[in-house]
Structure 1
Amino acid sequence: MFEAKLQPEADFNNKVYDIFYEIAKKAHEDVQKETELPYLLDRTKLAKYVFNVSVQSLDAHILRRKDFPKVHVGGRTLYPKDLVINWIRDHVEVSDQTAPERNFGVI
């Protein structure tokens, strides 16, 4: 009869701690970056720092939407950071809703 026993590496706990520490550190850095942005963003900063896409992609897929938050100041259109972030949260599609027939993860 064959028997196998799995044992973690001697340094396993430290490696897991390091992984979680890096995740928490990255999350903290993201929050700091968010708070450093000005309250009203122009479309270039919005594309780069919030959506991480080109200005052209932002124009084509997001900024033309009537429900996207914007403020007109003089001849400029600016985007309130907090309202934009809330808008994104309200418009995120979960994979189960998008493709319920697909199996994600380990099967």
Structure 2
Amino acid sequence: MFEFSLKTIPDSLRKEIHDILSDVVEAVIEERKQENDLPFMLSKAQMAKHIFNVSPQTLDAHVINRKDFPKFKAGERILFPRDMVLEWIRKNLDVMADIPSNQGGK
């Protein structure tokens, strides 16, 4: 649990800080609710739309075929465990700093 005290801060600033923190907490709660509204096992189309916000083709080209990306084969269909995908994203967010830029054909 997170606790903080604003006793030594002027009332006007205290209210502003409180409002900002309330907005942050509300956003985090809403984000978690949206994540939990998704099915436990996602199709490629669901994952592309609701988690990555890209086309399924972009997922094929850049994400799904990675050996470390979580997937589950059910017959001929490949499904993606929601919680494992979200955890994979959290663990790999800083990877972009290590990828060289192709800007300007360099």
Aligned partner letter, 2:55: S
Alpha-carbon distance between aligned partners in 2 of 1:40 and 1:67, rounded to the nearest angstrom: 17
Larger-Rg structure = 1
Equivalences, count? 90
Alpha-carbon distance between aligned partners in 2 of 1:82 and 1:51, rounded to the nearest angstrom: 14
Higher helix share: 2
CA shift digits 1:44-72 (9 cap, x unpaired): 11112222222222221101212211111
Gapped runs of 5+ residues in structure 2? 1-8, 99-106
Structure 2-normalised TM-score? 0.71
Q: 1:87 to 1:94 in 2, by over 3 A?
A: closer
> What is the identity percentage for the equivalent residue pairs of Structure 1 and Structure 2?
38
CA shift digits 1:19-39 (9 cap, x unpaired): 111110010011111111111
Structure 1-normalised TM-score? 0.70
Alignment of 1:13 with 2:14, yes or no, is yes
Q: 1:9 to 1:57 in 2, by over 3 A?
A: farther
1:80 to partner: Cα distance: 0.6
**Root-mean-square deviation (Å):** 2.4
Report the equivalent of 2:49.
Answer: 48
Report the equivalent of 1:66.
Answer: 67
1:94 to partner: Cα distance: 6.9
Gapped runs of 5+ residues in structure 1? 1-7, 100-107
Q: 1:82 to 1:12 in 2, by over 3 A?
A: same
